[in-house]
């Protein structure tokens, strides 16, 4: 191929790549993982970007060298294979040690992030999350607030076959629940995850963590959100027919608003057992060993 034809070919490839990259970059935020709003989500995002950049550099070097060699030493230019480096011990050692060194260098920040992720000490609040087919139960262990959170009626009506409701007209379709989880901002919240039937997984992308909720096991994650707002997620473990209909909605509110919310929501729990205490006691006693053997 003449120099001119190479230039034309190169130019059209570049144009094609630019054409593809244009729309892709417009939606880049949708392609990449979210940075989220918690200490952990940002750590995980930074780690992800660091590893991604290392991969980009490696790819540029490897493909650059490969393309250069293909073009520069092509047969049509009279290149003859150089066999002097075949089975070279020095080369073998170099291309074994170099990747090992890169992997170790990447493992250091990854291990550091893992240690922080697993460290649930010094949490200020604990919420037990129990997965059911197909809803979530939330127990605030410190204050006794407890409730179930199920798919909002607006989504539930629209999802039914022949409902006549256009899902596009439903706000937060399949991402809205009747009872939001409420957590205070800038507070380390420990979340205990378990399930009462099959395996579910609790996942709110903006909060950075996703973990399985497994019957008979208690998994834990922690969240420390620094931005007020409403964050939505879904069950992330195929758990049966209505797996797609058990979303998660978390409200991050100020500490004052959270305390107020706790006061409002724990009030009925305190007044209800007061009257039938004598009746409830044997039922409780009978229920406790069963529930503990189930664990
Ligand atoms: Cu599920």
Q: What are 163-204's pLDDT values in tens digits?
A: 888 888 888 899 999 999 999 999 999 999 999 999 999 999
Centre of ligand 1 from the C-alpha of residue 182, in Å: 21
Lowest-confidence segment of 35-44, 77-86, 269-278 by average pLDDT: 269-278
What's the CA gap between 189 and 199, in Å, rounded? 22
Q: In the block, which residue shows the tokens 């630019």?
A: 18
The string of DSSP codes covering 72-96 is HT-GGGT-----TTTT-HHHHHHHH
Query: How far is ligand 1, taken at its centre, from the CA of residue 194, in Å?
Result: 13
CB 36 within 8 A of CB 49: no
- Residue 146 alpha carbon to ligand 1 centre in Å: 21
The residue count of the chain comes to: 295
* Percent of the chain clearing pLDDT 70 (strictly above): 81
Closest CA to 181 of 125, 245, 97: 125
Burial (CB count within 10 angstroms: exposed 0-12, middle 13-18, buried 19+), residue 169: exposed
The pLDDT score that the predictor gives to residue 229 is 94
Distance linking the first and last C-alpha atoms of the chain? 72
Distance from the CA of 220 to the center of ligand 1, in angstroms?
18
Ligand 1 centre to CA of 233 (Å) is 11
Q: 144-167: per-residue pLDDT in tens?
A: 999 999 998 888 888 888 888 888
Answer whether 150's CB lies under 8 Å from 133's CB: no
Q: What angle do CA 58, 62, 64 make, to 5 degrees?
A: 115
Q: Which of 99, 124, 10 minimizes the C-alpha distance to 1? A: 10
Write the pLDDT tens digit of every residue in 52-108: 999 999 999 999 999 999 999 998 988 888 888 888 899 999 999 999 999 999 999
pLDDT at position 27: 65
* Ligand 1 centre distance from Cα of residue 151 (Å): 13
Query: What spacing in Å lies between the alpha carbon of 132 and ligand 1's midpoint?
Result: 9
CA distance 68 to 79: 13
pLDDT of res. 288: 41
Are the C-beta atoms of residues 223 and 40 closer than 8 Å to each other?
Answer: yes
109, with CB counted inside 10 A (0-12, 13-18, 19+), is: middle
Backbone angles phi, psi at 16, to 5 degrees: -65, -45
Is the peptide bond between 134 and the residue preceding it cis, with omega within 30 degrees of 0? yes
**Distance in angstroms (rounded) separating the CA atoms of residues 104 and 108:** 6
Give yes or no for residue 8 having a pLDDT over 60: no
Identify which of 43, 42, 37 has the alpha carbon closest to the alpha carbon of residue 252. 37
Report residue 83 as tokens. 């066999």
Give pTM, 2 decimals. Answer: 0.74
**What domains sit in the chain, N to C, each tagged with a CATH number?**
32-79+89-118 (1.10.287), 125-271 (2.60.40.420)
What's the 246 CA to ligand 1 centre distance in angstroms?
7
Cβ atoms < 10 Å from Cβ of 184: 22
Q: Is 251 exposed, middle or buried (0-12, 13-18, 19+ CB in 10 A)?
A: middle
pLDDT digits (tens, 9 = 90+) for 236-247: 999 999 999 999
Answer yes or no: are the C-beta atoms of 223 and 196 closer than 8 Å: no
141 pLDDT more than 80: yes
Strands, E assignment, 243-284: 248-253
d(CA 127, CA 123): 11
Q: What pLDDT score does 9 carry?
A: 56
155 within 8 A of 174, measured Cβ to Cβ? yes
Alpha carbon distance 190, 225 (integer Å):
12
**Distance from residue 118's CA to the centre of ligand 1 (Å):** 23
């Amino acid at each position: 191929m003449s120099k001119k034809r190479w230039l034309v070919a190169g130019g059209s490839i570049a144009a094609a790549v630019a054409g593809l990259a244009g729309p892709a970059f417009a939606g880049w935020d949708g392609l990449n993982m979210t940075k989220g709003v918690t200490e952990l989500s940002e750590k995980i995002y930074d780690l992800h970007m660091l590893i991604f950049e290392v991969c980009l550099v490696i790819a540029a070097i490897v493909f650059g060298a490969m393309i250069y060699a293909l073009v520069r030493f092509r047969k049509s230019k009279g290149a003859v294979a150089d066999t002097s480096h075949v089975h070279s011990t020095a080369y073998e050692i170099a291309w074994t040690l170099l990747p090992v060194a890169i992997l170790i260098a990447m493992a250091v920040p990854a291990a550091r992030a893992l240690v922080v992720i697993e460290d649930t000490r010094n949490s200020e609040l604990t919420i037990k999350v129990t997965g059911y087919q197909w809803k979530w139960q939330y127990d605030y262990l410190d204050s006794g607030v407890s409730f179930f959170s199920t798919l909002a009626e607006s989504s539930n009506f629209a999802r039914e076959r022949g409902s006549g409701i256009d899902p596009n007209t439903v706000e937060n379709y399949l991402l809205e629940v009747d009872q939001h989880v409420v957590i205070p901002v800038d507070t380390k919240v420990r979340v205990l995850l378990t399930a009462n039937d099959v395996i579910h997984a609790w996942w709110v992308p903006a909060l950075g963590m996703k973990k399985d909720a497994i019957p008979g096991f208690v998994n834990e994650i922690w969240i420390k959100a620094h931005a007020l707002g409403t964050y939505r997620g879904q069950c992330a473990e195929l758990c049966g027919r209505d797996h797609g209909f058990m979303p998660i909605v978390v409200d991050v509110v100020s500490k004052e608003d959270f305390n107020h919310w706790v006061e409002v929501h724990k009030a009925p729990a305190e007044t209800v057992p007061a009257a039938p205490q004598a009746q409830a006691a044997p039922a409780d006693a009978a229920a406790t060993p069963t529930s503990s053997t189930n664990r």
